[in-house]
């Protein structure tokens, strides 16, 4: 069978929101010296708990994905590592550490990647967080998000869900100093207490601004999140 050659070039202008997104990504990479830290998380117990909660409250409360648990772990970890919940003013050379956690949620839309903001994430329980995530995602995808819902985040969570791959190198949402990226959950054989067992494993691929965040502190921050996620009962202990 003969294969016909293809001809032609399609010119696609980068305009409007797509251009703004491109400029913001370029600004982030130009100004921020990124470094990425990847850690493996055993989410077997977390997934078991999530399944039980969804079964218990089916039809009565918002369905829980992994994101509410990750957000809760971030809120708790930020208490111990407040330098992650910050914005860096390049011109003044000042780091602004924030008390409230205004969580950016990187969301894919037809117009490109947008980051709606869940304000005061520290005040939300799992179900209110799940409801707000759904509302914000629908708002940005439907073009009804308000201006104040698209600005002012202090740290960002990004996830591609089932398409999350094994490892990623997320771009920091400038002028923030940290972003936590979530890769997909896969079943893998692991060694536990000398025996090979099947566990549900997930990587966190997170990037940090090396001007502000030391590598040791970045690793400790992710390890802190890991401790909460691998023992999910700790997520509910103040």
Which CATH number goes with the domain that contains 37?
3.30.559.10
* Angle in degrees, CA 22, 25, 30, rounded to 5: 120
Mind telling me the catalytic residues? 210, 214
Q: Print the domain residue range for 188.
A: 31-236
Structure tokens, 185: 């959950």
Rounded Cα distance, 91 and 73, in Å:
32
Whether residue 186 lies inside any domain: the answer is yes
- 238 residues of the chain, pLDDT tens digit each: 678 888 999 888 888 777 888 888 888 999 999 999 999 999 999 999 999 999 999 989 989 999 999 999 999 999 999 999 999 998 899 999 999 999 999 988 887 788 999 999 999 999 999 999 999 999 999 889 888 899 999 999 998 767 778 899 999 999 999 999 999 999 999 999 999 999 999 999 999 999 999 999 999 999 999 999 999 999 988 6
Question: Which of 201, 199, 165 is closest to 181 using CA atoms?
Answer: 165
Whether residue 7 lies inside any domain: the answer is no
pLDDT reported for residue 163: 74
Angle between helices 126-142 and 67-80 (to 10 degrees): 110
What DSSP line would sit under 175-232, residue for residue? TBSEEEEEPPPEEEEEEETTEEEEEEEEEEEEEEETTTS-HHHHHHHHHHHHHHHHSG
Whether residue 25 lies inside any domain: the answer is no
Whether residue 22 lies inside any domain: the answer is no
Whether residue 4 lies inside any domain: the answer is no
Domain count, the chain: 1
Whether residue 141 lies inside any domain: the answer is yes
User: Token match 């999530």: residue?
Assistant: 50
| Exposed e or buried b per residue across 23-48, where buried means at least 16 C-beta atoms within 10 angstroms of its C-beta | eebeebeeebeeeebeeebbbbebbe
Whether residue 2 lies inside any domain: the answer is no
Rounded Cα distance, 73 and 32, in Å:
25
Whether residue 88 lies inside any domain: the answer is yes
- What's the N-to-C CA distance of the chain in angstroms? 68
pLDDT reported for residue 172: 96
pLDDT tens, 49-90?
999 999 999 989 989 999 999 999 999 999 999 999 999 998
pTM surpassing 0.85? yes
pLDDT reported for residue 22: 83
């Amino acid at each position: 069978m003969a294969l016909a050659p293809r001809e032609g070039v399609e010119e696609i202008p980068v305009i409007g929101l797509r251009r703004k997104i491109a400029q913001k990504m370029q600004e982030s990479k130009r100004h921020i010296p990124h470094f990425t830290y990847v850690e493996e998380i055993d989410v077997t117990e977390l997934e078991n708990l999530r399944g039980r909660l969804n079964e218990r409250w089916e039809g009565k409360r918002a369905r829980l994905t992994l994101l509410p648990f990750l957000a809760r772990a971030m809120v708790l970890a930020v208490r111990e590592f407040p330098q992650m919940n910050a914005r860096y003013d390049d011109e003044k050379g000042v780091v602004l550490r924030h008390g409230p956690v205004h969580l950016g949620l990187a969301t894919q839309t037809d117009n490109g990647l947008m980051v709606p903001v869940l304000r005061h994430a520290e005040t939300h329980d799992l179900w209110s967080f799940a409801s707000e995530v759904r509302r914000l995602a629908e708002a940005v995808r439907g073009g009804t998000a308000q201006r104040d819902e698209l600005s002012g985040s202090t740290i960002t969570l990004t996830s591609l869900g089932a398409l999350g791959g094994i490892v990623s190198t997320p771009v920091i949402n400038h002028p923030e100093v940290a972003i936590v990226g979530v890769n997909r959950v896969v079943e893998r054989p692991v060694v536990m207490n000398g025996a090979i067992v099947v566990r549900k494993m997930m990587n966190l691929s997170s990037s940090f601004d090396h001007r502000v965040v030391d590598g040791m502190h970045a690793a400790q921050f992710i390890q802190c999140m890991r401790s909460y996620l691998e023992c999910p009962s700790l997520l509910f202990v103040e």
